[in-house]
Amino acid sequence: MNPELANALIHLRRSVFPKDYTGAPVSDRVVWQLLENANCAPTHKLTEPWRFIVYSGAGRKKLAQLQASVYWKVTQADGTFKEERYQNLLTKPMDSSHVILVYMKRDEKKSVPEIEEAGAVFCAIQNMYLTATAYGIGCYLSTGGITYFEEAKAAFGLSSEDRIIGFFHIGMLKEPPQPRKRNPVENKVGWIRE
């Protein structure tokens, strides 16, 4: 292990959006590596609550139509429909090489608090981010659209106990991402020595 390389990888990690993707496909082999590394995330009581559905090729169109359909049904019923958002759901998945639906599968015994299960899934997502960075590809987690619509669960074949965490978009980078903007960590830490 080289600590300097690990530090550099973490500091280079970015959310990179489709406007900065080339449109070229990412190798399925790399996507499998993202998922394999996600599977190494910490998990309390080894519940491994992360689950993934990968959309690529024509599958992205299927995802787009499914998202738009759920959005239309829910927002027509509650009066919040916005045509621009609907159109984005129909087209946005096509801007990425792959889109991965990330969801949390609850432990049947519910022996682990839900927040800990969600934390494990977000650790898996961070592993995906770091792997994408190592391979020089762009990615970001989208939690907009229908992510938190209860009706979306059934549309994706999930149970009512499952939780959609977001949609992880992947694409080939046009150019290296810009430097990170973060406030100094010293402003966020209390340190008690005695």
Structural domain tally of the chain?
Answer: 1
- The type of residue at 123 is C
For the domain that residue 162 is a member of, what is the CATH number? 3.40.109.10
Please give the backbone phi and psi of residue 86, each rounded to the nearest 5 degrees, phi first: -60, -50
1 assigned to some structural domain? no
In whole angstroms, what is the distance from residue 82 CA to residue 169 CA? 23
pLDDT in tens, 39-89: 999 999 999 999 999 999 999 999 999 999 999 999 999 999 999 999 999
As a whole number, mean pLDDT of residues 144-160 equals: 96
175 assigned to some structural domain? yes
9 burial (CB, 10 Å; 0-12 / 13-18 / 19+) is: middle
17 assigned to some structural domain? yes
3 assigned to some structural domain? no
What's the pLDDT band for 179 if we cut at 50, 70, 90? Answer: confident
Please give the backbone phi and psi of residue 58, each rounded to the nearest 5 degrees, phi first: -65, -20
Q: Are 48 and 117 in contact (CB under 8 A)?
A: no
28 assigned to some structural domain? yes
2 assigned to some structural domain? no
As a whole number, mean pLDDT of residues 119-130 equals: 98
Domain residues for the domain of 26 are: 13-188
As a whole number, mean pLDDT of residues 148-167 equals: 96
Q: Is the dihedral of CA 74, 76, 79, 81 positive or negative?
A: positive
Look at 48-57, 110-119, 173-182 and tell me which has the smallest mean pLDDT. Answer: 173-182
76 assigned to some structural domain? yes
In whole angstroms, what is the distance from residue 141 CA to residue 166 CA? 6
118 assigned to some structural domain? yes
Beta-carbon neighbour count of residue 194 at 10 Å?
Answer: 2
